[in-house]
């Protein structure tokens, strides 16, 4: 089945540690996204990538980093500079915006990150 796989489902981090969240898709989508979800809030965009080897900051990129070396993979690193990293992290993918039409985003089932 085609889809987006996020791992791990739960992740615990100690203060001062960097952690990397995995996102893999087999939908052959060029565009991938990372969102953060906090209780009672909508999803907020951290980073996005429209194509391999290219990515752009979203609204809340501070304290996060990404790479896009392969079309299928878009890992997110939560660095120690992120002051409040406890949240639910969601990865999404889509075909690129083309021909004047925005394209639907498809989401994985998320990684819940907690600070010990």
- Residues of this chain that interact with another protein (CB under 8 A) are 4, 6, 31, 33, 40-45, 48, 50, 58-59, 90, 92, 94, 96-97, 100-110
- Beta bridge pairs of residue 93: 32, 106
Rounded to the nearest whole angstrom, what is the least distance from the CB of residue 41 to another protein in the complex?
A: 6
Which of 11, 1, 4, 6 has its CA nearest to residue 114? 11
Task: CB nearer to another protein: give 16 or 40.
Answer: 40
Rounded to the nearest whole angstrom, what is the least distance from the CB of residue 80 to another protein in the complex?
A: 26
Task: CB nearer to another protein: give 23 or 78.
Answer: 23
């Amino acid at each position: 089945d085609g889809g987006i796989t996020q791992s791990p489902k739960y992740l615990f981090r100690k203060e001062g540690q960097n952690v990397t969240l995995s996102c893999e898709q087999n939908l052959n989508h060029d565009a991938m996204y990372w969102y953060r979800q906090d209780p009672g809030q909508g999803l907020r965009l951290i980073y996005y990538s429209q194509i391999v080897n290219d990515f752009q900051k979203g609204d809340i990129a501070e304290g996060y980093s990404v790479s896009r070396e392969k079309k299928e993979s878009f890992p997110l690193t939560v660095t120690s500079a992120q002051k409040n990293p406890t949240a639910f992290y969601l990865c999404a993918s889509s075909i690129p915006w083309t021909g004047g039409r925005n394209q639907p985003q498809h989401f994985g089932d998320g990684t819940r990150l907690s600070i010990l």
